[in-house]
Amino acid sequence: MATGDCHKILHHEDFVLSVVYAPDGKQIATGSRDNAVRLWDVDTGECYKILNGHTNWVREVVYSPQGDQLASASDDHTVRVWNL
């Protein structure tokens, strides 16, 4: 039964600009003003991987339908495709 209670709080270093669930629902990807993409475990709320490479804010993140890749779009005028 849905209670509306907060399940987890994920802490970032800077403002979060994008968040998306993986197709399997087990992880979340976030993009923020710290120029990084973070991958989070939904059950534990832990950040288990930081994808660095952008040189400006990460505005958007999206998983591939299979969940094996992630694309991130940044104010550095690039889209990066990450193999997960």
Environment class of 29 (CB within 10 Å of its CB; exposed 0-12, middle 13-18, buried 19+): buried
What string of H, E and C letters represents the secondary structure of 2-25?
Answer: CCCCCCCCCCCCCCEEEEEECCCC
pLDDT surpasses 90 at 4: no
CA distance linking residue 50 with residue 32, whole number of Å: 11
Q: What is the pLDDT of residue 1?
A: 63
Domain ranges of the chain: 16-83
The pTM of this model reads: 0.91
| Residue-wise pLDDT tens digits, 16-74 | 999 999 999 999 999 999 999 999 999 999 999 999 999 999 999 999 999 999 999 99
Q: What is the pLDDT of residue 3?
A: 85
CA distance linking residue 56 with residue 58, whole number of Å: 6
CA distance linking residue 17 with residue 2, whole number of Å: 26
